[in-house]
Amino acid sequence: MKKFITVVLILINSMLNICEAQQFHIGQSYAGGIIFFIDGSGEHGLVTTAFDQANYVRWGFEGLVGASSLDNGEYNTKIIIQSYKKPQVTAAYICDTLTLGGFKDWYLPALRELRMIYDHQENIRNFTVGEYCSSTESNSLDSWNIHFRPHRRVEFHYDKDVKKYNVRCVRKF
């Protein structure tokens, strides 16, 4: 009888833990930002800042730094930061040095991450109509960017040294 009660208590505890599991949804405030992606497990994903962290800031400078990942903005951001010998106020630097909601692991999104943000902009809100830069380089002169406007995404690669962009930072949870 004692074993039976122990088994029942274990089952009840397991059921309570399942019921307490976090249910995430796109547009939810969580982990210092707004959720725009949830992975297949339903337990992890990506958030972006609720507001632009900068407006009219350049991506970086001419010259190929190797930030070519379309999916991994965290990797790209590290490569960009490491490529400049001294701190430079660039889009990647703004995200890399950001502390928001108690979190310090923000980065500039890669192109595909920025596409997902664009696709969910109505759930995230507070966007400026204009160009947002990704951390993805196109070549030694240009980076990939998205012009945010309602119902029409325009992707382009353009001058990373002269052009000024809006910046949204991203982090994993």
Q: What is the pLDDT of residues 2-49, one digit of tens each?
A: 554 444 444 444 444 444 457 999 999 999 999 999 999 999 999 999
Q: Quote the CA–CA distance of 99 and 159 in Å, as a whole number.
A: 28
What type of residue is 88?
Answer: Q
Structure tokens at 80: 């960009």
Q: Rounded to an integer, what distance in angstroms lies between the CA atom of residue 140 and that of residue 125?
A: 32
Note if the pTM is more than 0.75. Answer: yes
| Cβ atoms of 48 and 36 closer than 8 Å | yes
- The tens digit of pLDDT for each residue in 94-152 reads 999 999 999 999 999 999 999 999 999 999 999 999 999 999 999 999 999 999 987 77
Buried b vs exposed e over 75-103: b needs ≥16 C-beta within 10 Å?
A: bbbbbbbebeeeeeebbbbbbbebebbeb
